[in-house]
């Protein structure tokens, strides 16, 4: 029997609807949560993502600004912009879209964002808060979204073996921290696999919950999955396909057709984790407005 599909679009829509009550409450106090997105250069994928974030803000009733800078922008110029946004009371959340051009030191820019406006959760202060379970810290949007997918799909994590494939600071490591915490979507036993893991198949087959964020198209095949496991595919990859109008198709890091025949529940690509990432960014922006000193 094919695995149950975990619909990230539907779950994200429900979360956004729930968020409206808090947005209205803040507006009654004269506060409109505001998000600024900074895009340096003309990376098509980044531009699409920033545009989607702007549309999501409009739909949710949030104030937003999208600031586009040329590719040859200097690090000094970008840092000055971040300083201005840090001081702007209309802006509660700042998002600097990655990747940045090579002349800019990424960590220097991310650490310049005020921790109270770091809705991406990349500042060391927020990384530390998430690691120790401080609820005032901003959880990175993608792992936060994965956790919500599990909770709202009635996939119990308590005492389960969760295996994460990928150790990036954007997904893998914060995902492990969230799954280890005490509370809904936590209390799991966590293993993190990466490119140096030996016999990775023997590890992934132990997973009750398998979260794949490797960045490699269809890396996880059906024989790497424990029967009945919940599979969360974080990857979004373009692969050539001359039969389509665009000449490519989107696939995840999991070979979906094979995995669906083995897993108990699985996220599709697209329509799984992707919609949740933008939803959780909105949640973080509202949280930032709520925690703002002037709020």
What is the predicted pLDDT for the residue at 219?
96
Over its C-alpha atoms, the chain yields an Rg (Å, rounded) of 19
Q: Name the residue among 121, 131, 233 with its Cα closest to residue 178.
A: 131
The confidence score (pLDDT) of residue 293 equals 61
Cα torsion angle, 211, 193, 168, 185, sign: positive
pLDDT of residue 286: 98
Q: Provide DSSP, 146-194.
A: HHHHHHHTT---TT-EEEEE---TTTHHHHHHHHHSSSTT---EEEEE-
The CA–CA distances, whole Å, from 13 to 25, 262, 277, 283 equal 19, 28, 12, 12
Prediction pTM value: 0.94
Check if the beta carbon of residue 36 is closer than 8 Å to that of residue 93.
Answer: yes
Tens place of pLDDT for every residue, the chain, 295 residues? Answer: 899 999 999 999 999 999 999 999 999 999 999 999 999 998 888 888 899 999 999 999 999 999 999 999 999 999 999 999 999 999 999 999 999 999 999 999 999 999 999 999 999 999 999 999 999 999 999 999 999 999 999 999 999 999 999 999 999 999 999 999 999 999 999 999 999 999 999 999 999 999 999 999 999 999 999 999 999 999 998 888 888 888 888 899 999 999 999 999 999 999 999 999 999 999 999 999 999 864 4
Contacts of 257 (CB under 8 A, 6+ apart): none
Domains and CATH numbers, the chain: 30-116 (3.40.50.10860), 141-274 (3.40.50.720)
Strand partners, 191: 163
Per the CB < 8 A criterion, the answer to whether 86 and 113 are in contact is yes
Residue 277 neighbours by CB distance under 10 Å? 23
Residues annotated catalytic, as ranges: 53, 97, 120
The answer to whether the CB of 185 falls within 8 A of the CB of 130 is no
Q: How many CB atoms lie within 10 A of CB 66?
A: 17
């Amino acid at each position: 029997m094919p695995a149950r599909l975990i619909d990230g679009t539907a779950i994200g829509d429900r979360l956004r609807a729930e968020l409206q009550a808090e947005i209205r409450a803040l507006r009654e106090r004269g506060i409109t949560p505001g998000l600024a997105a900074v895009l340096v250069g003309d990376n098509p994928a980044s531009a699409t993502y920033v545009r989607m974030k702007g549309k999501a803000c409009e739909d949710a009733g949030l104030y937003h600004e999208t600031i586009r800078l040329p590719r040859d922008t200097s690090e000094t110029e970008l840092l000055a912009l971040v300083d201005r946004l840090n001081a702007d009371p209309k802006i509660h959340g700042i998002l600097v879209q990655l990747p940045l051009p090579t002349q800019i030191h990424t960590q220097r820019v991310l650490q310049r964002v005020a921790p109270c406006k770091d809705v991406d959760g990349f500042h060391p202060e927020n990384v530390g808060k998430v690691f120790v379970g401080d609820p005032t810290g901003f959880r990175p949007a993608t792992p936060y979204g994965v956790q919500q997918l599990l909770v709202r799909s009635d996939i119990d994590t308590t005492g389960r073996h969760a295996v994460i494939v990928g150790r990036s600071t954007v997904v893998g490591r914060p995902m492990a921290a969230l799954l280890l915490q005490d509370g809904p979507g936590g209390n799991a036993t966590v293993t993190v696999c990466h490119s140096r893991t030996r016999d990775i198949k023997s590890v992934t087959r132990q997973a009750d919950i398998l979260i794949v964020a490797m960045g490699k198209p269809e890396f996880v095949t059906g024989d790497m999955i424990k029967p009945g496991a919940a599979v969360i595919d974080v990857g979004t990859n373009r692969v050539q396909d001359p039969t389509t109008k665009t000449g490519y198709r989107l696939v995840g890091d999991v070979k979906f057709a094979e995995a669906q025949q083995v897993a108990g529940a699985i996220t599709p690509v697209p329509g799984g984790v992707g919609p949740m990432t933008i939803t959780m960014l909105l949640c973080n922006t509202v949280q930032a407005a709520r925690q703002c000193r002037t709020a």
